Amino acid sequence: MITRRIALLGVAVAAFVVAVPALAADDLNLPRQAVALVAPPFVHPHEQATKEAPKIIEFKLVITEKEVVIDEAGTKFQAMTFNGSMPGPLMVVHEGDYVEVTLVNPETNAMPHNIDFHAATGALGGGALTHVNPGEQVVLRWKATRTGTFIYHCAPEGMIPWHVVSGMHGTVMVLPRDGLKNREGKALRYDRLYYVGENDLYVPKDEKGQYKSYETVGESFADTTEVMRKLIPTHVVFNGKVGALTGKNAMTSKVGETVMIVHSQANRDSRPHLIGGHGDYVWETGKFVNPPEKDLETWFIRGGSAGAALYTFRQPGIYAYVNHNLIEAVELGATAHFKVEGKWNNDLMTQVQPPGPILPGKSSAADAVVKTR
Amino acid sequence: MLLAMKIKAAITAAVLASPIALTVAPVAHPVDSAITEIAAKPFQYRLAGDFSRDGKPAPAPLREALLAASIKIMNRQVTAGEYARCADDGRCPKIPQASAMAERPMVGVSWRDATAYAEWMTNKTGVLHRLPTDEEWVFAAGQKVREEALPLVDPVDPAQAWIARYEAEANRARPGALDPQPVGAFGRNENGLLDVGGNIWEWTNSCFLRMTLEPTGAARVTNTNCGVRVVQGAHRTYMTDFIRDPRTGGCAAGVPPANLGFRLVVEDKNWPALQRMIVATFTPG
């Protein structure tokens, strides 16, 4: 897939790129901060509001092509990832900061890659300036001029959708420098943040209907594209795998705690819903300059965007966080769980009568209907 | 109810057909069906279903039980090859298996499929074949039965039990392989039964019951749902009778069974046994 000419060209470009960071540091006289990224659903430590002046925030993304298991049946999948996770890590900066990303494509990979930041302006979101062959790295800097949650994804010519649905997407969150606000301008804060990245996966099957596995990413391309073109995913999962956020990996919280859930879908529409809870404040389109909507039951994440929801848990127990196309949630995998500790509030809900025989003669709303017939 | 009626009708039809089967000389059990006879002896049995006392959830009572007679049960699960013969005869729904594994246990079967297979075997051999009841399964499973007392739901604060149950279920050991393994891969129990509590859960004939515990200790059935059957394996669960893939039902938010399969019990005396089964299946209490 990579010709010798392209490979040689890559070497030349790499030689040029190496000199760039030093120049950049000189022409932009701002303090620098290197941030170590962490794998979803977690996020690196960050300030929600900051009194500091804009900085250059440095991130490093290492592209990893690898085989992963995507369901409990052990279905193998040739993934392409940023930093080894599906989705890639969430990066948090503040409006006015400069995001400086070192994108590394190790020699062990087979594919050329790049990165398109929806939050960035120009050059196809940086895609046109970041093509790296295996054995190369590139450094791109862009200014965070708009607040909100924004997708980033790989976008190599001719193979964009395949790279995206193979795992190469993540989210950048640009916070207002003075933090999040509600419609009235009152500050909103969260105690915890979880990043849920939704992946639609298209795994080819053999003539017996069994999922096929491939030795390398490249070998999976033709068959996978054929499945993709029918637009029906075989799996719709959160964080790369059926059950990645359930059981021992369930997200946790406690009554009274406010959780922010950032939800991204780089390719296809989704509709998150917290079963038994709500979205207190939801930036459905993810852009913080717009006032958040209140008290939502389900919110819509447009394919190619990330949204953010704040919720303060009021009741303990197990909550399911699903894509409320329930076929996708239950049959295809788009289900996560929250385990919430705390004390039950009988005022909010109580079981007045446990399940039992239907008693005749007792006055109830249901009986009244029967009687009027 | 309508569903139960239909099944009842189906079984009645089988009963009516059975005298014809009886006119031919009873055929010995096929060699490969490998029936083990276990003599009745007392055993501990925790009742299946949902229990309450004074309107509050109560733990399922643990009882000393004794089957009325010895039990003759397959020492292994029905294989894909055996099931395929019933499907080829047009008496069982065709269910494609993962790969050419005729010698391995049949999986992906619903209670209805398993029941159809049992009826086919009954007609073919003149000997009553049926799914075991939950009591029979527990008796035959012996030491392989895992006693799991999940926390009770306290109506004052139900969430604590949900969280505890969720954690217990999440901590259950998962079978290493999900695909059906060769017969015997999960070992033999003290009664000679193979693969009990392996990666295949087995259908029983027992219906889901909701019961009230009386002050005397007696359990009074307040609701019988035969659209849901008790499923047994590494843990007990309840499953709607037409489910073939357990991942889409059962076990709440925890770990669902990996596969659904079955083994059968056989009875020599046809008619009274079938009658008993119908009574047991469709009469509350």
User: Given an 8 Å threshold on Cβ–Cβ distance, is A316 in contact with B55?
Assistant: no
Cβ–Cβ below 8 Å for A351 and B99: no
Cα distance between the two ends of chain B: 16
3-state secondary structure of A369: helix
- Residues of chain A contacting residue B167, judged by C-beta atoms under 8 Å apart: 339
Residue linked to tokens 């790295």: A137
**Residue whose token pair is 């926390």:** B151
pLDDT, tens digit, for every residue of B212-225? 999 988 889 989 99
User: What single letter denotes the amino acid at residue A3?
Assistant: T
3-state secondary structure of A127: helix
Q: Tokens 């200014």 — which residue? A: A143
Beta-strand ranges (E) seen in A53-134 are 56-69, 76-82, 90-94, 98-105, 116-117
Of B98, B158, B163, the CB nearest to A210: B98
Q: Does A315 touch chain B (CB under 8 A)?
A: yes
What are A66's two structure tokens?
């690898």
Which residue's structure tokens are 């020599």? B268
DSSP 8-state code for residue B248:
G
Number of DSSP helices (H) and strands (E) in chain B, helices first: 6, 12
Q: Is A327 on the interface with B (CB under 8 A)?
A: no
pLDDT tens profile A304-318: 999 999 999 999 999
**B13-38 pLDDT, tens digit each:** 333 333 333 333 334 444 445 899 99
State residue B281's pLDDT score.
55
Q: Give the nearest partner residue to A248 out of B99, B160, B170, using CB atoms.
A: B170
Contact assignment for A346 to B156 by CB distance below 8 Å: yes
- CA of B46 to nearest chain A CA: how many angstroms apart? 21
ipTM exceeding cut-off 0.90 for this assembly: no
Closest to A200 (Cα-Cα) out of A83, A303, A67: A303
- pTM: predicted TM-score of the whole model, two decimal places: 0.82
Q: Is B246 helix (H, G, I), strand (E, B) or coil?
A: helix
Per-residue pLDDT tens, chain B, 285 aa: give them: 333 333 333 333 333 333 333 333 334 444 445 899 999 999 999 999 999 888 888 889 999 999 988 999 999 999 999 999 999 999 999 998 766 688 999 999 999 999 999 999 999 988 899 999 999 999 999 988 877 667 787 878 888 888 888 888 888 766 677 889 999 999 999 999 999 999 999 999 999 999 999 998 888 998 999 999 999 998 898 998 998 988 754 444 556 788 999 999 998 765 555 555 555 554 444
Residues 6+ away with beta carbon under 8 Å from B67: B40, B135, B136, B139
Which amino acid would we find at residue A144?
Answer: A
Find out whether A286 and A250 touch, Cβ atoms under 8 Å.
no
> Which of A243, A239, A253 has the alpha carbon at shortest distance from A319?
A253
**A181: which residues sit within 8 A by CB, 6+ positions away?**
A187, A188
Which chain A residues are within 8 Å of B153, Cβ to Cβ? none
Among all residues of chain B, which has the CA nearest to that of A316? B159
pLDDT at B12: 37
The pair of structure tokens assigned to A9 is 């060209």
List the structure tokens of A230.
């029918």
Q: What are phi and psi of A75, to 5 degrees?
A: -60, 125
**Taking CB atoms and an 8 Å cutoff, what residues of chain A touch B222?**
356-357
- Token couple for B49: 């279903």
**Cβ pair A356:B223 closer than 8 A:** yes
| Residue B253 to residue A318, Cβ atoms within 8 A | yes
